[in-house]
Amino acid sequence: MRILETDMGEREMDKKNQQERMGKPSGAFYRAEGHLTIQLLPQKGNEELLAEVPHILWLDLAVVFRYYWEEERYCCSMLIQWEYLADWNVTVEQVWRKARENMPRLFPVKLCSVEEAMRDMREGMEVKSQKIRDRKRETGLSVQLYLLTNQRGYNGATAIFYEGVLKEFAERVGKDLIILPSSIHEVLLIPDDGTSSYEMLSALVREVNRSEVPRRDQLSDHIYRYLREKDCLEIA
């Protein structure tokens, strides 16, 4: 099912219908809270947007919030504005908690090897994964790549925030994780056995971003580490 997005509430419906659908007027947060979702964006290049919408800063990224619903032929998504929080009489933290809670239900996680994912992968991700595998061979890297996204392949990089997903996977492989920000729609995981060069992987991410990823889908030029003993993420 195709997902339609609008950044400033400009779907085919007029603003009055949008507000009715989103649980307005004030005091009706309970009608909207089950539809709240999150989206990860780079801070760099989105300064104007972030100055205008509710968000949470995280490392070099930002979490913004969307209102998601399904219609007969489409799934639809609309960016949450400050005025909605004022009408609902809620804080950014309340929206963040509810949106994060909703994500695994609305967008169930997908975590598998890249080889498994290639069978039903969209073309763009196939090209990126192939380029990374080619560079692995060129540089002698012998690491296994895993894909983390959601079952829709839409804004799937947010799966890094799903409760327990990274921790359970890291415990299963018995290693910390290196996270390559493939795009806003997915990330790639590498079990960190101490042999991978962070500098080389960062350069690889930058190269793939410049050559294969549309600017609107780029997430970061940095790579990240998940530390299983601390249960935290950091820039590598």
Instruction: Give the pLDDT confidence of 169-203 residue by residue, as tens digits.
Output: 999 999 999 999 999 999 999 999 998 899 999 99
If phi > 0 it is left, if psi is from -120 to 50 it is alpha, else beta; for residue 210 that is alpha
Report the C-alpha gap between 62 and 146 in whole angstroms: 24
Report the C-alpha gap between 135 and 67 in whole angstroms: 39
Amino acid at the residue 61? L
Question: Please, what is the end-to-end C-alpha distance for the chain in angstroms?
Answer: 36
Helices assigned H by DSSP within 22-107: 29-32, 47-50, 82-88, 92-106
Structure-model confidence comparison of residues 19 and 77, the more confident one: 77
CA 105 to chain centre: 15
Report the C-alpha gap between 80 and 95 in whole angstroms: 10
Instruction: Give the pLDDT confidence of 127-168 residue by residue, as tens digits.
Output: 555 555 565 555 555 568 999 999 999 999 999 999 999 999
Predicted confidence at residue 162, as pLDDT, reads 98
Instruction: Give the pLDDT confidence of 88-131 residue by residue, as tens digits.
Output: 999 999 999 999 999 999 999 999 998 888 776 555 455 555 55
Q: Which residues pair with 235 in a beta bridge?
A: 224
User: For the chain, where are the E strands, in sequence order?
Assistant: 2-6, 36-42, 55-58, 61-70, 74-79, 109-113, 146-150, 176-183, 186-192, 224-227, 232-235
Predicted confidence at residue 129, as pLDDT, reads 57
Render the burial of 164-189: b for 16+ CB within 10 Å, e for the rest: ebbeebbeebebbbbbbbbbbbbbbb
Structure-model confidence comparison of residues 60 and 22, the more confident one: 60
Q: Which residues pair with 75 in a beta bridge?
A: 3, 70
Predicted confidence at residue 122, as pLDDT, reads 54
CA distances from 113 to 4, 123, 130, 192, 223 (A): 28, 17, 13, 15, 19
